[in-house]
């Protein structure tokens, strides 16, 4: 009974947050990790069983290559992709009908040179950041190769190509929208900044140096947004530290150092009054940070706890109830008490992991690079509910909907429907 009550309370809190912060409908998924930016879904009847031949509503081949996770707004799915090769590369945005999988529009945004486009890791692609959709606009980000805004019909509103840096392994971090600023990290091998663009024009509103002391300076994390005591903050992990920035002018509000962590990928999660984030390669730590009252260098005063065993390099974490769930890149899943960091359980799932987990209806969905999704019950005791295999490589995170799941694999977008 206590767990049922807790879930009802969590549902009311989440739905109230969505209602206050955004005009989107309850089942929209407008950016990387959803409307509350933490992988939590309030959708109902989310599928739990599928294969390549079972519970597939439709399957659409996506032209080109890309690992951006599906964004869902008002019955439309938005993705990015890259077609061509060498000196004929085309970076594109796609809009897909969520009902039948038909591609509604496919718009070219940029044509980078092969020299610029070649700066990527074997696990990365040219179209990894997820689309941000809000207030009748679609914001598309390709890191050092350009950022653009379109309307819902695919008309280009503006393009920004004036931000240059050496990304080392390509771009992986998605943008975040706060007020009238589109913000993203630019942590390269040569320079490191966080940038805020004017959403109306695409002009650079501010560009703040990271001032890191890390030896390896490149990172790829998606920023988080929070509000503490009436102050909006952009939380952006980079190499060596996580920083908080004022969205109005980009000034640094506070930072917490974590040494030589670099190539940081996971998006921070804000839950239970704490920020939860991982510190990247080579030996990742999972940190809990209390941002309330933080200023300047808050490493000693505001670090609540840290955990090292099985911490992820790439997938983000998800917090459900009083527990935090995560999976290491090597496939070891863990459940910890979110307040203390005490370990409830660890379990090897098998496979390798890059996608971030989602939570729906008291279940956690972990999707491996091999296309296998393990569904566990959100509980302090480990319970595997289902294992589903699409038999296709993927690095994209799942997008839930009422009665459906959208899954991007290497060549296709799948709609899984509960039947």
Q: What are 112-136's pLDDT values in tens digits?
A: 987 776 656 667 789 999 999 999 9
Considering the entire predicted model, what is its pTM?
0.92
Residues in the chain: 419
How far, in Å, CA of 133 to CA of 156, rounded? 14
Peptide bond into 45 cis (omega under 30): no
pLDDT reported for residue 120: 61
Coil/strand/helix, residue 270: strand
Collapsing DSSP to helix, strand or coil, 122 comes out as coil
Residues 102/94, Cβ–Cβ less than 8 Å: no
Domain positions in the chain: 2-417
Tokens of 48: 């739990």
Is the domain spanning 2-417 CATH 2.130.10.10? The answer is yes
Q: Specify whether the CB–CB gap between 182 and 147 falls below 8 A.
A: yes
Q: What is the pLDDT of residue 25?
A: 52
Q: Which long-range contacts (CB under 8 A, 24 or more apart) does 362-368 make?
A: 362/7, 362/320, 363/46, 363/48, 364/318, 364/320, 364/325, 365/398, 366/327, 366/333, 367/394, 367/397, 367/398, 367/407, 368/331
Spatial CA neighbour of 269 closest among 288, 244, 293: 288
For residue 26, what pLDDT is reported? 54
Q: Which residue has the tokens 């952006």?
A: 236
Phi and psi dihedrals of 355, rounded to 5? -65, 150
- Give just the sign of the alpha carbon dihedral 305, 280, 162, 190: positive
CB 78 within 8 A of CB 95: yes
What is the reported pLDDT for 121? 62
The total of other beta-carbon atoms located within 10 Å of residue 379's CB is 18
pLDDT along the chain (419 residues), means of 10: 39 37 64 98 97 97 95 97 90 98 98 73 83 96 96 98 88 94 96 97 98 92 95 97 98 95 96 97 96 97 97 97 98 98 97 98 98 98 98 97 97 94
- For residue 6, the 8-state DSSP code is H
Cis bond before residue 282 (omega within 30° of 0): yes
Average pLDDT, the chain: 92
Q: Where are the beta strands (DSSP E) in 323-371?
A: 323-327, 332-337, 343-348, 358-360, 363-367
> Cβ-count burial of 309 within 10 angstroms (0-12 exposed, 13-18 middle, 19+ buried)?
exposed
Distance from C-alpha of 96 to C-alpha of 286, rounded to nearest angstrom: 36
Sheet holding 318-320, edge to edge: 318-320, 323-327, 332-337, 343-348
Q: Which two tokens stand for residue 71?
A: 């964004």
Which of 16, 10, 68, 39 is CA-nearest to residue 276? Answer: 39
Taking only the tens place, the pLDDT of each residue in 33-43 is: 999 999 999 99
Please report which helix (H) or strand (E) contains residue 7, including its range.
Answer: helix 2-21
What's the pLDDT score for residue 87? 81
């Amino acid at each position: 009974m206590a767990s049922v009550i807790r879930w009802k309370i969590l549902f009311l809190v989440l739905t109230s947050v969505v209602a206050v912060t955004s005009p989107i409908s309850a089942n929209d998924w407008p950016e990387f990790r959803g409307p509350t930016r933490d992988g939590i879904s309030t959708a109902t009847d989310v599928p739990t069983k599928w294969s390549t031949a079972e519970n597939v509503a439709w399957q659409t081949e996506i032209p080109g290559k890309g690992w951006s996770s599906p964004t869902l707004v008002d019955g439309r799915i938005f993705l990015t992709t890259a077609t061509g090769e060498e000196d004929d590369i085309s970076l594109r945005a796609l809009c897909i009908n969520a009902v039948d999988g038909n591609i509604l529009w496919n718009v070219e945004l940029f044509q980078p040179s092969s020299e610029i486009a070649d700066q990527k890791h074997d696990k990365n692609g040219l179209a990894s950041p997820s689309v941000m959709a809000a207030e009748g606009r679609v914001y598309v980000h390709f890191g050092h190769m350009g950022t653009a805004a379109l309307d819902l019909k695919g008309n280009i509103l503006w393009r920004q190509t004036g931000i240059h840096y050496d990304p080392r392994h390509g771009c992986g971090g998605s943008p975040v929208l706060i007020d009238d600023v589109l913000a993203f990290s630019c942590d390269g091998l040569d320079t490191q900044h966080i940038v805020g663009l004017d959403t109306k024009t695409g002009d650079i509103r501010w560009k703040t140096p990271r001032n890191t002391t890390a030896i390896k300076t490149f990172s790829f994390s998606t920023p988080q947004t929070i509000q503490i005591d009436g102050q909006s903050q952009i939380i952006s992990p980079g190499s060596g530290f996580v920083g908080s920035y004022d969205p109005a002018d980009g000034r640094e509000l506070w930072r917490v150092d974590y040494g030589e962590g670099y190539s940081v990928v996971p998006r921070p999660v804000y839950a239970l009054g704490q920020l939860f984030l991982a510190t990247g390669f080579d030996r990742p730590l999972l940190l809990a940070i209390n941002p309330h009252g933080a200023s300047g260098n808050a490493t000693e005063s505001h670090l609540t706890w840290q955990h090292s065993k099985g911490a992820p390099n790439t997938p983000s974490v998800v917090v459900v109830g009083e527990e935090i769930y995560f999976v290491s890149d090597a496939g070891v899943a863990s459940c910890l008490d979110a307040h203390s960091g005490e370990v409830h359980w660890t379990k090897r799932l098998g496979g390798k992991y890059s996608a971030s987990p989602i939570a729906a209806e008291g279940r956690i969905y972990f999707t491996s690079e091999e296309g296998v999704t393990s569904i566990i019950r959100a509980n302090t005791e480990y319970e595997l509910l289902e294992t589903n295999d699409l038999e296709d490589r993927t690095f994209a995170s799942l997008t839930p909907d009422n009665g459906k799941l959208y899954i991007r694999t290497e060549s296709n977008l799948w709609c899984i429907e509960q039947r």
